[in-house]
């Protein structure tokens, strides 16, 4: 909590009346924001609300059209990334800016070398890096190459880097998105430590639970406008959602009314090295099966094997009693299995192509005659999904890379819906997606189940797994460690217990 007298002094950071337009879009329409020393300010808003733009202005990547920025009550210039750094602002973007083959130490001091042709004072750098890690309270091997570090460790390196530049304001953009629950706890300890050192933190996340846990105040943005700023203690979850979305959602998870039928996809003894061992599972018609576990438990790896993205060492697959031979994703798609990958940008979309082209990619057979693509038909089919699942696009020719995360996910969804697959695997379907869009995606998952499809959801977000699935399978270290059949009565603790337990025996493990 900020000291009580801090409120009367000038805040650490004050942004006033920030406006920013891009061609055709008013991204920010006069946003105010203030941050005190030793405070965590959460920045909440749907995708496209203007959070990223605001942060990029703070980081010197964009210039505001209007508005002032003050640090300690003094007007500050953040015209360039360098100026922003010099003003004591450190930004940790979702995608880290680390050089993979340089060590943690080298990354921390990159750009701070004494001069282009002088020797690097290695010993003193090591000592300083060590001191930084001590200050953060986390141990990271100073001379390990960054690509050998875990995501959480890389994040610590990023934090250390900002501290080495004497940052007093640290912005974290979705820092927990790629972390396991345990790693997230570690991150929170680091944040507490930074708070105690009078550093102000702006924290961006879509995970409301985290906001309650870590934030002192919350600033809400919607459509480029500042909606409200309130202490987190005065807020309920429902209020938060309402302030973000601008309307109240009855529930986070829509209800589904289906009873699972016959088994459709049956997987037996799937193996792939250490990462997937003896995984057997079945998904029934109209069933939503949850697959969870800590990051690295083998969930995504299992999904990739089912989809043919990787080749299993052994194991068999059956769909509706027919055994499947799947050597690559092309086979899987032809047989009626599709996978919505967790990383949309790297695996789900060709960002430079239009949404229509992305949509058509797995469906070209459907849209071609005599070798020619019937582009009008393709565009019409896509337009149908634009209405059905409310994709916000300017038209079928919009380039996929220019869409917000939620709309990108919907484009990916549309391309697989058109495929009319029988088995749909969602890997982290709502990662980085705002609350409103999440709800729409959940509704869609329910519709698929109601059509008798077999749905598999992989998610690290336990509320999502518990709220959306009929049955949950938990993995740890490549093995299935348990199954939860009575989902309505299960708790997050039940899942976590299985996620951290050792596999018992062979095959599907025990019934939880």
Partner 1 sequence: MKKLNYTKLLFDYGTLFVLALLCAWFSYVTIEEQSPTSPAAAERLANRVGGQLPTGASVVVLTRQGGEGRSFANALAEQLAKAGVTVASTTVGQPVDARKALTDFAATGAELAGIIADKHMASFANTNLGALGQAHSTLAKAKIYQPTSYRWPNFLKRDNLLNVMKQISVVAIIAIGMTLVIITAGIDLSVGSLIAFSGVITALAIQSLGGDSPTTGHLWLGAMVGILACGLAGLFTGSLVTLFGIPAFIATLGIMFIAKGLAFIISDSAPVPVANEAFGWLGRGRDFFGLPNSVVLMLILFAIAHVVMTRTSIGRYIYAVGGNPEAARLSGVPVKWVLVFVYTLTGLLAGLGGVMEASLHITGDPKSGDLVELKVIAAVVVGGTSLAGGQGRILGTLIGAFIIAVINNGMNLTGVESHMQKVIYGAVILIAVLVDRLKIHLLKLKKA
Integer Cα distance of 403 and 384 in angstroms: 18
Contact residues for 441 (Cβ-Cβ < 8 A; gap 6+)? 409, 410, 413, 429, 430, 433
Q: Among residues 122, 373, 388, 420, which is the contact residue for partner 1, using CB under 8 A?
A: 373
Does residue 325 belong to the site contacting partner 1 (CB under 8 A)?
A: no
Does residue 119 belong to the site contacting partner 1 (CB under 8 A)?
A: no
Nearer to partner 1, 120 or 373 (CB): 373
Total number of residues that touch partner 1 (CB under 8 A)? 39
Nearer to partner 1, 285 or 403 (CB): 403
CA-closest candidate to residue 338, choices 322, 347, 356, 260: 347
122: phi then psi, degrees, rounded to nearest 5: -55, -45
Vertex 333: Cα angle to 452 and 454 (nearest 5): 20
Tokens (6 digits) for 483: 């199954």
Taking the complex as a whole, how short is the minimal distance between the CB of residue 373 and partner 1, in angstroms? 6
Q: Among residues 263, 329, 452, 467, which is the contact residue for partner 1, using CB under 8 A?
A: 329
Nearer to partner 1, 211 or 319 (CB): 319
How many CB atoms lie under 10 A from the CB of residue 271? 16
Nearer to partner 1, 256 or 415 (CB): 415
Q: Among residues 415, 438, 453, 471, which is the contact residue for partner 1, using CB under 8 A?
A: 415
Does residue 360 belong to the site contacting partner 1 (CB under 8 A)?
A: yes
Binding window for partner 1 (CB under 8 A); candidates: 4-12, 69-77, 210-218, 352-360: 352-360
Q: Among residues 4, 5, 8, 24, which is the contact residue for partner 1, using CB under 8 A?
A: 24
Nearer to partner 1, 62 or 128 (CB): 62
Contact residues for 402 (Cβ-Cβ < 8 A; gap 6+)? none
Count Cα neighbours of 132 within 13 Å in the Cβ-side half-sphere: 25
Does residue 398 belong to the site contacting partner 1 (CB under 8 A)?
A: no
Does residue 178 belong to the site contacting partner 1 (CB under 8 A)?
A: no
Name the DSSP letter for residue 12.
Answer: S
What are the angstrom distances between the C-alpha of 398 and each of 26, 248, 351, 387, 403? 18, 30, 10, 16, 8
Does residue 361 belong to the site contacting partner 1 (CB under 8 A)?
A: yes
217: phi then psi, degrees, rounded to nearest 5: -130, 160
Nearer to partner 1, 167 or 339 (CB): 339
Does residue 341 belong to the site contacting partner 1 (CB under 8 A)?
A: yes
Name the DSSP letter for residue 169.
Answer: E
Binding window for partner 1 (CB under 8 A); candidates: 114-122, 130-138, 354-362, 455-463: 354-362
Does residue 53 belong to the site contacting partner 1 (CB under 8 A)?
A: yes
Vertex 274: Cα angle to 269 and 278 (nearest 5): 15
CA-closest candidate to residue 10, choices 29, 31, 34: 34
Integer Cα distance of 427 and 15 in angstroms: 38
Question: Which residues are at the interface with partner 1 (CB under 8 A)?
Answer: 22-24, 53, 56, 61-62, 307, 309, 328-330, 332-334, 339, 341, 346-353, 357, 360-362, 364-365, 368, 371-373, 375, 401-402, 415
């Amino acid at each position: 909590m900020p000291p009580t007298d801090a409120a009367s002094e000038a805040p650490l950071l004050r942004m006033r009346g920030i406006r920013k337009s891009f061609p055709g879009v008013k991204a920010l329409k006069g946003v105010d924001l203030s941050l005190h020393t030793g405070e965590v300010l959460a920045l909440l808003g749907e995708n496209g609300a203007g959070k990223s733009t605001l942060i990029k202005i703070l980081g010197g990547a964009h210039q505001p059209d209007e508005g002032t920025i003050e640090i300690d009550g003094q007007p500050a210039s953040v015209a360039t990334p360098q100026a922003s750094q010099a003003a004591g602002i450190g930004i940790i973007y979702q995608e880290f800016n680390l050089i993979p083959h340089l060590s943690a130490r080298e990354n921390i001091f990159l750009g701070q070398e004494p001069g282009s042709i002088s020797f690097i004072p290695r010993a003193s750098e090591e000592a300083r890096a060590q001191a930084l890690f001590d200050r953060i309270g986390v141990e990271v091997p100073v001379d390990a190459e960054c690509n050998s570090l875990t995501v959480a460790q890389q994040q610590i390196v990023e934090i250390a880097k900002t501290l080495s530049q004497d940052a007093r304001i640290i912005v974290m953009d979705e820092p927990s998105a790629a972390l396991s629950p345990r790693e997230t706890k570690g991150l929170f300890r680091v944040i507490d430590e930074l708070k105690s050192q009078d550093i102000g933190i702006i924290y961006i996340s879509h995970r409301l639970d985290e906001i309650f846990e870590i934030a002192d105040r919350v600033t809400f943005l919607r459509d480029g406008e500042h909606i409200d700023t309130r202490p987190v203690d005065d807020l309920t979850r429902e209020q938060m959602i309402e302030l973000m979305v601008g309307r109240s959602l009855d529930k986070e998870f829509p209800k589904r009314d289906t009873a699972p039928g016959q088994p459709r996809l049956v997987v037996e003894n799937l193996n792939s090295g250490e990462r997937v061992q003896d995984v057997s599972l079945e998904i029934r018609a109209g069933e939503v099966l949850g697959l969870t576990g800590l990051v690295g438990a083998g969930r995504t790896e299992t999904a990739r094997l089912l989809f043919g993205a990787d080749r299993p060492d052994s194991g068999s697959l059956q769909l509706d009693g027919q055994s499947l031979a799947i050597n690559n994703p092309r086979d899987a798609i032809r047989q009626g299995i599709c996978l919505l990958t967790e990383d949309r940008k790297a695996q789900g979309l060709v960002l430079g192509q239009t949404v229509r082209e992305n949509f058509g990619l797995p469906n070209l057979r459907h849209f071609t005659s005599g070798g020619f693509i019937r582009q009008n038909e393709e565009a019409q089919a896509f337009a149908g999904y634009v209405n059905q699942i409310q994709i916000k696009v300017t038209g079928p020719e919009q380039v996929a890379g220019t869409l917000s995360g939620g709309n990108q996910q919907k484009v990916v969804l549309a391309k697989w819906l058109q495929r009319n697959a029988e088995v749909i695997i969602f890997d982290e379907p709502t990662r980085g997606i705002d609350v409103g869009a999440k709800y729409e995606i959940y509704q869609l998952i329910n519709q698929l189940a109601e059509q008798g499809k077999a749905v598999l959801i992989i998610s690290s977000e336990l509320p999502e797994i518990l709220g959306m699935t009929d049955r949950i399978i938990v993995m740890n270290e490549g093995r299935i460690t348990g199954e939860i059949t009575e989902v309505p009565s299960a708790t997050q603790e039940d899942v976590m217990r299985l996620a951290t337990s050792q596999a018992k025996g062979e095959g599907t493990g025990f019934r939880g």
